[in-house]
Every structure is written in C-alpha cells, then in structure tokens.
Chains A and B, each alone.
Chain A
Amino acid sequence: MRPENDLVRGIRNRDPGIFEEFVRRYQSQVYFTALRMVGERDDALDVAQEVFLKIWRFAPKLKGDVALKTWVYRVAVNTCIDRLRERGRHADHTARNNLILLAVPDQQMSPHEHARMAEELNRLRNALNELTERQRSVFVLRHFQNLRTGEIAEILSTPEGTIKATLYQTLQKLRGLLGTPAREISDRDESEPKSDSEIAR
C-alpha cells in the first residue's frame, strides 16, 4: 500500500492511477458516512461520487502536509449537509423516508422476523432523521465510523469539549425519541454506593 505522502502527491498531480487507488481506499468510509447521513442508498451513491469529484477538482490546491483522512471526511460531511439542505427544500422527499427495506435479507429469517426487523430499522432511521445536522454528523462519525472525539473535532473544526457535549446530547435525544428517556439525576436522587460486601451478597 502506498504511503500517504505519495498518495497526496499523486492526487495533487491528478495521476489517474493514484487517484483510483485513493478512491478505493476511502470509498467505504465516504459511502457509509453518506448513507448514514442522508439515509438513502441512491443519494449516498450520488454524494460519494460528488465528494470524490470535488476532491479531483481541488486536487492541484491540495497542501503537501494535509491529513488526508480528516480532509476526506470533512468534504464528505459538508457534501452530506448540502444534500440534506437541498432535500429540505424539496418536501416530497419525506414520503420516501417512511419506508426502508433490508439491504440484504437474511435467507434464514422468517417473513415475520424480516418485517419486524425492517420496522425496527425504520424506527432507528426516523430517529436519526430527527437529529440536527451537527448532531447527526457527530453521531455518525463516532458510532458508525468509529472515530474518536478528537478526530471528529478536527474534521468539524470544533473544540473537542463541544463534540463530547454534542455526543451526549445526541444520545439523550435518541433515547427520548426511541421511548427510553435517559434518567434525570437531581441532588436528592443521589444513590448511596453500596459497600463491596453488599455487592458480593
């Protein structure tokens, strides 16, 4: 596998072979980020294509010391947000959001189980759709892309503390939307820690 410096140089010189290698290396991250952000496979494919095309266009301006991963995710998140805003202007799209089918139906699954799982996925996806752009970006990058909050902070050009706070608020909101609100703790509710012997019993 080519080192990142060579990859950056090749992209900057618009070397088609190196660019294709770069696309193959990052297509999964870009496509699945887009899929979780915009929710639809066709849209995700369009967004992924747009992300790489943007990178190709701006390739000659790429700095030599750029962190490729951060940059790719940043372009991907911004493109997804643009797509969501564009979609917001076309209200008819929301009708399609109510139905999702399993991408790869499990052959061993009964129709009933299949329907139940599809319903559950719809519920989760509708909950994701209720998040703000910022909350959705943070949650998708943290949960589905498994990026650390420090990396997300760099991608979204936001302080890490803000990202942590946003992530917690997002999880709280998701619990509320999915019917299991997070416990509110007041000073009076403070439970007494048990002793080790009590735990052992």
Chain B
Amino acid sequence: MSFTCHDIQDRWAEYLYRELEEPDQARFVQHIRRCASCRAEEDQWRGLLSGFDSMAASDGNMQPPPELIFRLRRQIRFYEDCTQSTVAQIRNWTVGAAVACALFLGGAHFLLTRLQSHTTPDAALAPIAQSVLSGLYGQQNLEILSKEGIFDATAIKDRDIAVNVTEEAGKKKGDSAS
C-alpha cells in the first residue's frame, strides 16, 4: 500500500535527505510516481536544495584558508607562554605567603612562650603601677610612704592593688595634714 499526500507531507525532509527506512522509502517513491501535485512539490523542494548546493560550490576549492594553521600555532604559543608565566607568578606568591605566615606564627609563638616562662602578667604590670604612683606623688614621697610601712612598692602585684594603695595613701596624707 502506497502513501497518500497526507502521509508524506511531514516526511519530505527525510525523503530528500535519503533518511527514510524501507519500506517507507519505496512507498514514498510509489506515491510520487502516481501523484502529479506531489511530483511538482518534489521539484520545488529539489530546486530549493540545489540553490544551497550552488552556495556551497561557490566556496571554490573547498579548503579553509591556510592562515588558520599559522594563526592557531601563534595563539597556542601565546597561550602556553601566558599560562607558564601565570603559574610561575602563582608559585612565587604562594611561597612568599607561606614564608610570611611561618615567620608570623613563629614570632608569635616565641613571644608567648617567653612571656609565660619569665614573668607573669600581674608582675608585668607592677612597673606601670609604680610609674603611675610616682607621677602622682613623686618618687621621694613614695620612698617616705614606703619607709612608714604604708606602701611597699615591691609588693604591688597589679594595677588594682596599686590604685587601692594610692587611695589609701591619699587618705592618710589628708588625715596627717588635718
């Protein structure tokens, strides 16, 4: 049984490009042989495709321009050079950053261990407290206070103690003056 016009209407592309499987190809051909309007239609389709064939033929010897290879070689060389210099730059930056980090961490570790082994944070504040007191009362007065047993500079452990002692000393000084 051959195809009808309706059967082949969506299958022209497959027929023209020889992609129809048997027995559909044979049935298609059989219908075209019998149907004048479909034969005219086939002529129209073939005319369209031959126009595009002539377009392809106008490309001459059908060879791509030889400069494609030369341009490509140059581009690849450029790409490789860029990649290598970028890799080298990244490597240098990584090494530099690693060294800087190592130095920073080593330094921080060194300072911390040294602080912990040689002094306590409270004792570290004692010189500060002493300098504050000497600023307020003068070094000589401090020595007097120390002699009178009111203030022992060596006994200062931290800033709070120093401030308390300072306040106490201030009160005593006020009492003796009155």
Q: Are B47 and A102 in contact (CB under 8 A)?
A: no
Contacts of B168 in A (CB 8 A): none
Per-position 1/0 for A29-44, Cβ under 8 A of B:
0111001000001000
Interface assignment of B135: CB less than 8 Å from any CB of chain A = no
The tally of residues in A whose CB lies under 8 Å from a CB in B reads 53
Contacts of A178 in B (CB 8 A): 48, 51
Q: For chain B, residues 38 to 59, give those with C-beta under 8 angstroms from any C-beta of chain A.
A: 38, 41, 44-45, 47-49, 51-52, 54-56, 58-59
Q: Are A52 and B72 in contact (CB under 8 A)?
A: yes
Q: Are A121 and B58 in contact (CB under 8 A)?
A: yes
Q: For chain B, residues 1 to 31, give those with C-beta under 8 angstroms from any C-beta of chain A.
A: 2, 4-6, 9-14, 16-17, 19, 31
Per-position 1/0 for A137-155, Cβ under 8 A of B:
0000011100011000000
Interface bin, chain B: 35 or more
Interface assignment of A1: CB less than 8 Å from any CB of chain B = no
Contact partner of A120 among B5, B6, B16, B51, CB < 8 A?
Answer: B51
Contact partner of B45 among A16, A23, A171, A199, CB < 8 A?
Answer: A171
Q: Are B72 and A53 in contact (CB under 8 A)?
A: yes
Contacts of A27 in B (CB 8 A): 64, 68-69
B82 nearest CB across to chain A (Å): 11
Q: How distant is the Cα of A118 from the Cα of B67 in the complex, in angstroms?
A: 26
B45 nearest CB across to chain A (Å): 7
Interface assignment of B61: CB less than 8 Å from any CB of chain A = yes
A177 nearest CB across to chain B (Å): 10
Q: Are B34 and A142 in contact (CB under 8 A)?
A: no
Q: Are B6 and A103 in contact (CB under 8 A)?
A: no
- The chain A residue with its CB closest to the CB of B41 is A183
Contact partner of B12 among A20, A120, A168, CB < 8 A?
Answer: A168
Contacts of A49 in B (CB 8 A): 68, 71-72, 75
Contact partner of B47 among A20, A180, A190, CB < 8 A?
Answer: A180
Q: Are A190 and B59 in contact (CB under 8 A)?
A: no
Q: Are A53 and B75 in contact (CB under 8 A)?
A: yes
Q: Are A103 and B60 in contact (CB under 8 A)?
A: yes
Contact partner of A185 among B6, B36, B64, CB < 8 A?
Answer: B6
Q: Are A144 and B64 in contact (CB under 8 A)?
A: no
Interface assignment of A189: CB less than 8 Å from any CB of chain B = yes
Contacts of A168 in B (CB 8 A): 10-13
- The chain B residue with its CB closest to the CB of A27 is B64
Contacts of B58 in A (CB 8 A): 102-104, 117, 121
Interface assignment of B98: CB less than 8 Å from any CB of chain A = no
11 contacts between A and B (CB under 8 A): A28-B63, A45-B71, A49-B75, A143-B52, A148-B19, A149-B17, A167-B13, A174-B48, A175-B44, A185-B6, A191-B37
Please give me the 9 A-B residue pairs with the lowest Cβ-Cβ distance, nearest first: A104-B60, A31-B64, A193-B34, A168-B13, A167-B13, A194-B34, A27-B64, A185-B9, A185-B5
Other contacts beyond A23-B68, A102-B58, A182-B12: 15, CB < 8 A: A53-B75, A103-B60, A117-B54, A121-B54, A121-B55, A124-B55, A144-B52, A148-B19, A149-B14, A171-B16, A175-B44, A183-B37, A185-B5, A190-B6, A195-B34
